[in-house]
């Protein structure tokens, strides 16, 4: 298994203690709504950070600011020592290093599964087509949809589509992966197949930011849980400490509502 | 009944061939320029968006006859635009007519295409940007291919309208089908058979276009 590891390059490349993503004093408004308020968050290389919180707390927005799908009003975001550039070529280059998985999969509907995975490496990285195809097929096998390579996204189940989306992001060999509620649009029985892929990725040392409502995943796979409410980071803690003994009232209230039954 | 149809005297097929040529060149030109306009209208650059919006709102609201006549009198006779011909009237007006059709029809192509762009879920464009694709790559590789597929039927409508609109070129003396029809009606005094003949000619041109493109539209539809 190790020679086919998805994140081998990253494990080889850097010491684990290095800070990969740094958000410093980030603010954002949607009109009058102050959706991100003085967010300070540092994500270390190889760390899995799970962001949880009630709807409308700004956690998806936070996730989307990291590759500038949402712009910010003030503060700085740094990825691998490079500040996030403005729109343009520089930004595209940086985004290529940041994988993103969306709630609604967002596969390219007019391209086959294999073409979806190959597009980025060929068009952005200008890599050799034969090599890209071999790697794409390997990735599709790893996420368990290798036999669907020539189908179109609409022919796949939600869980399969989301695993393709993960493979598509991994094909770029990203430094960090962002997951924006990756299982929220899935039928319950498909959630696990996606979480299993993510868990495997986490265990291989991929740096991950995961916005999710899956508390089981947060508990078992996260290095750190970030709890957000009303645009602020209310609590940051080790998952066991957070779930068993939350410090803030807001987190206790939130957990009592979702873990009650 | 069809004794007026002296093919030695009237070049019926030549006239319809000119109609087909006008339609073809104007169609290709409108498709290209209309796509550029649509790209401008969805671009993040405000100046380009403003230009695209202004262009569409100006040219789709001016009567085609006016545009064609202006091309001939304004561009051809006053400004001496020769459109890379030797400057003689017939080829110049033929090319100016094509220019006029492109200017007019591209506004409609742009709007059809823009409605197609709106059918592509915005998440796909976001996913493409998140992979590191540039704005033009997102448009070329992800958005426009799907947009085109969803607007083949409306584009067929525009193409049919263009085919019939080419008759306006007779106003500046281009020898296409409608020009020949006027000439024949004047000479032969058999209005109804001649009109029917030309109506049939246009139906023969446009009906297959509509049917073929309707079939293509069904086949190419993107499954969601």
Query: Among A237, A186, A198, A187, which residue's Cα sits nearest to residue A52?
Result: A237
Q: Do B130 and A119 touch (CB under 8 A)?
A: no
CA distance B124 to chain A (A): 5
Chain A residues contacting B via beta carbons under 8 Å = 67, 69, 87, 89, 92-100, 102, 104-110, 119-120, 123-124, 152, 154-155, 165, 168-169, 172
Q: What share of chain B is helix, strand, coil (3-state, %, to 5)?
A: 80, 0, 20
Chain B: closest CA distance from residue A95 (Å): 5
Mean pLDDT calculated for residue range A152-165: 95
Tell me, what's the pLDDT at A17? Answer: 52
Beta sheet of A98-101, edge-to-edge order = A98-101, A176-180, A207-211, A48-52, A224-229, A232-237
Give the model's pLDDT for residue B2. 66
Q: Is the ipTM of this complex over 0.85?
A: yes
Domain spanning A19-107+176-259, CATH architecture: 3-Layer(aba) Sandwich (3.40)
pLDDT of residue A1 exceeding 70, the answer is no
> Is the CB of residue A27 less than 8 Å from the CB of residue A75?
yes
Phi (first) and psi of residue A178, to 5 degrees: -105, 130
Class of domain B11-220: mainly alpha
Tell me, what's the pLDDT at A10?
47
Q: Which one has a higher pLDDT value, B127 or A2? A: B127
Residue A4 has pLDDT above 60, yes or no: no
Say whether B123 and A106 touch across the interface (CB within 8 A). yes
SS3 A141: helix
Smallest Cβ distance to B133: which of A97, A98, A124? A124
Does B142 contact chain A (CB < 8 Å)? yes
Q: What is the pLDDT of residues A187-200, one digit of tens each?
A: 988 999 999 999 99
As a whole number of angstroms, the distance between CA A196 and CA A163 comes to: 10
pLDDT along chain B (224 residues), means of 10: 74 92 97 97 94 97 96 88 80 93 97 95 95 94 95 95 95 90 87 92 94 91 78
pTM: 0.85
DSSP-assigned beta bridge partners for residue A236? A226
pLDDT band at A260 (very low <50, low <70, confident <90, very high): low
Shortest CA gap A86–chain B (Å): 13
């Amino acid at each position: 298994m190790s020679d086919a590891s998805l994140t081998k390059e990253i494990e080889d490349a850097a010491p684990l203690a290095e800070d990969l993503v740094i958000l410093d004093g980030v603010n954002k408004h949607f009109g009058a709504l102050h959706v991100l308020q003085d967010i300070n968050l540092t994500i270390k290389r190889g760390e899995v950070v799970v962001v949880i919180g009630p709807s409308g707390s700004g956690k998806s927005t936070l996730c989307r600011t990291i590759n500038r799908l949402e712009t910010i009003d003030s503060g700085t975001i740094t990825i691998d020592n490079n500040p996030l550039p403005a729109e343009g070529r520089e930004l595209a280059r940086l985004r290529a290093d940041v994988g993103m998985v969306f709630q609604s999969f967002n596969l390219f509907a007019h391209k086959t599964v294999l073409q979806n995975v190959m597009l980025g490496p060929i068009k952005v990285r200008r890599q050799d087509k034969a090599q890209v195809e071999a790697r794409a097929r390997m990735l599709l096998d790893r996420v368990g949809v290798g036999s669907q390579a020539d189908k179109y996204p609409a022919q796949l189940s939600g869980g399969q589509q989301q695993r393709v989306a993960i493979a598509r992001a991994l094909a770029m060999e990203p430094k960090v992966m962002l997951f924006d509620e990756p299982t929220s649009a899935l039928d319950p029985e498909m959630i696990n197949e996606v979480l299993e892929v993510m868990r495997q990725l986490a265990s291989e040392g991929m740096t991950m930011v995961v916005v999710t409502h899956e508390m089981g995943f947060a508990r078992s796979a996260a290095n750190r849980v970030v709890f957000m409410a009303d645009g602020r980071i209310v609590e940051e803690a080790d998952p066991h400490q957070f779930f068993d003994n939350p410090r803030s009232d807001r987190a206790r209230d939130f957990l009592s509502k979702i873990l009650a039954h | 009944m069809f004794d007026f149809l002296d093919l030695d005297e009237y070049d019926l097929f030549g006239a319809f061939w000119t109609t087909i040529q006008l339609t073809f060149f104007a169609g290709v030109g409108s498709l290209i320029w209309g796509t550029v306009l649509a790209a401008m209208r969805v671009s993040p650059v405000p100046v380009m968006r403003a230009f695209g919006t202004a262009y569409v709102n100006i040219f789709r609201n001016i009567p085609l006859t006016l545009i064609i006549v202006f091309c001939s009198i304004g561009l051809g006779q006053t400004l001496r635009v020769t459109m890379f011909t030797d400057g003689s009237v017939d080829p110049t007006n033929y090319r100016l007519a094509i220019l006029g059709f492109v200017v007019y029809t591209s506004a409609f192509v742009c709007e059809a295409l823009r409605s197609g762009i709106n059918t592509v879920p915005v998440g796909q464009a976001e996913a493409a940007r998140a992979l590191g694709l540039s704005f033009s790559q997102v448009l070329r590789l992800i958005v426009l291919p799907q947009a085109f597929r969803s607007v083949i039927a409306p584009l067929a409508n525009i193409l049919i309208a263009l085919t019939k609109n080419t008759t306006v070129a007779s106003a500046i003396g281009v020898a296409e089908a409608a020009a020949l029809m006027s000439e024949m009606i004047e000479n032969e005094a058999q209005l109804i058979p001649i009109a029917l003949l030309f109506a049939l000619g246009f139906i023969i041109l446009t009906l297959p276009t509509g049917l073929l493109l309707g079939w293509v539209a069904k086949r190419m539809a993107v499954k969601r």
